[in-house]
Chain A
């Protein structure tokens, strides 16, 4: 869907490519109709990549039902915003962090890399593939009325309930990972009070995410600089 992502038409060409097998069927034996359909679906479009399955199903259904060009264009435009917002909010902002933090937390408790990676990938992709399947199926079944179903998107209902779990795992993962980082500094370097004090930086960062996000990278980059300065002052490490 996103392989041809570009600034002027975004995932429009990807949408047309995904719809191509259906359009070939719907307009079989009518090349001018296929060409016209391709031309309108190559136009600018954007949405969350998984949720675009809804658009593929619904638009193909409208083509099959013989909806007018104007109606298809208006529906296509109306679908962009909701599919993008819903996917970004539900999948990128909720589902993926939840599954990732599950894996990171298990890593902090000493689980094997394979188990940790699977703890992230298995539930995440179960949700991912289900969204694609659900989206295409519902889109095809409901065509132009699919918008109403988006208000009952099941994954959204699930993630709305699960955000406290994500936050809980975030706190646990931060402490566990902090401990691992201190462990690389040598035996005895692990300091729980220092770990918790450093962790308090997260509180203002929540309030000013951009400033503190940049601060995080600045801090990372400053570590070797400070080490070098200290080594130069002390005559070498």
Chain B
């Protein structure tokens, strides 16, 4: 697709940046209804540029790639809201489905997610300063309420900033990648490598959910039934 035809107009860019802030808020601060999961946020990103199905593909892959990063305690994990939004919008804006654009969007989403994570780490430290003076907060509960409002604003700003920083570069990278198709065999190699990466991530992530090795019987059953059904799908 020629870059001049990209659906990422300044208006949509601005809207996506605002959405990035809201999705970043959802992950930790409020309301944690999980619209920040890449499966949803990438679909929103894709829908904003007219291809929700394309966005959802990126989101589903990112979702399974991030399975091994549950948000336990003080763990660091990718900020999936802006990551999915950026990757979904970038892939959708790149036009027709292509493995080149998909790989570019996924790498861009992965980078966005970890940039968001490091920005989140800085936010945690800043929050520590906001609530350092506990006696003052206890003496004046209204001050605590204002600190909560400030923390929400900071988190929104963090998500918006990360989205703003990555949206255009990742979209351009996906569009450029789509415009430079690799040969058929190399494309198939890319797909195979991506599926292998996905399988490795799923295996690693399943460890957090499955109680023991017995889980594999069910995984194999699900895979076998899906594969059998696939033969009959167009």
Contacts and interface: CB of A to CB of B under 8 A. Distances in A.
Interface stretch (A63-71, A89-97, A136-144, A150-158): A89-97
Nearest to A167: B218
A3 B152 contact: yes
A182 B191 contact: yes
Contacts of A29: none
Interface in A105-120: 105, 107-110, 113-114, 116-117, 120
Interface string B189-231: 1111111111111111111111101011011111111110111
A231 B190 CA distance: 13
Given A24-B141, A108-B226, A4 B130 contact: yes
A73 to B, nearest CB: 14
Contacts of A216: 65, 197-198, 200-201, 204
Contacts, number: 351
Interface in B50-79: 52-53, 55-57, 60-61, 63-65, 67-68, 70-74
Interface in B117-168: 124-125, 127-128, 130-132, 134-135, 137-139, 141, 144-145, 147-148, 151-152, 155
A78 interface: no
B203 A201 contact: yes
A191 interface: yes
B182 A230 contact: yes
A170 B68 CA distance: 13
A88 B197 contact: no
B197 A220 contact: yes
Which of B39, B43, B186, B203 has the most CB atoms of chain A within a 10 A radius of its CB?
B203
A10 B73 CA distance: 9
A113 to B, nearest CB: 4
Contacts of B225: 172
A93 B199 contact: no
A217 B69 CA distance: 13
B47 interface: yes
A16 B209 contact: no
B141 A7 contact: no
Nearest to B56: A113
Contact of A167 (B63, B196, B215): B215
B57 A4 contact: no
B56 A107 contact: yes
A177 B64 contact: yes
Contacts of B32: 2, 49-50, 128
B218 A20 contact: no
Contact of A39 (B74, B127, B138, B186): B138
B182 A174 contact: no
Interface residues of B, number: 109
Classify the secondary structure of A's interface with B: helix
Contact of A185 (B135, B137, B188, B219): B188
B178 to A, nearest CB: 10
Contacts of B223: 171-172, 174-175, 196, 199
A186 B187 contact: yes
B68 A121 contact: no
Contacts of A164: 215, 218
B181 A168 contact: no
Contacts of A175: 222-223, 226-227, 230
Nearest to B177: A224
Interface of B: 28-30, 32-35, 37, 39-40, 43, 46-47, 52-53, 55-57, 60-61, 63-65, 67-68, 70-74, 97-100, 102-104, 106-107, 110, 124-125, 127-128, 130-132, 134-135, 137-139, 141, 144-145, 147-148, 151-152, 155, 177, 180-184, 186-211, 213, 215-216, 218-227, 229-231, 233
List the 4 shortest-distance A-B pairs measured between CB atoms, nearest first: A205-B203, A171-B222, A202-B203, A171-B223
Interface of A: 2-10, 12-14, 16-17, 20, 24, 34-36, 38-39, 42-43, 46, 49-50, 84, 88, 92-94, 96-97, 100, 103-105, 107-110, 113-114, 116-117, 120-121, 124-125, 128, 163-186, 188-189, 191-192, 194-196, 198-206, 209-210, 212-213, 215-217, 219-224, 226-227, 230-231, 234, 237
28 contacts: A3-B30, A3-B152, A4-B127, A9-B131, A35-B138, A100-B63, A109-B233, A128-B34, A163-B210, A163-B215, A164-B215, A167-B209, A167-B222, A168-B218, A171-B218, A173-B60, A177-B60, A177-B198, A182-B188, A182-B191, A186-B184, A191-B192, A195-B195, A198-B192, A199-B223, A206-B215, A209-B204, A220-B107
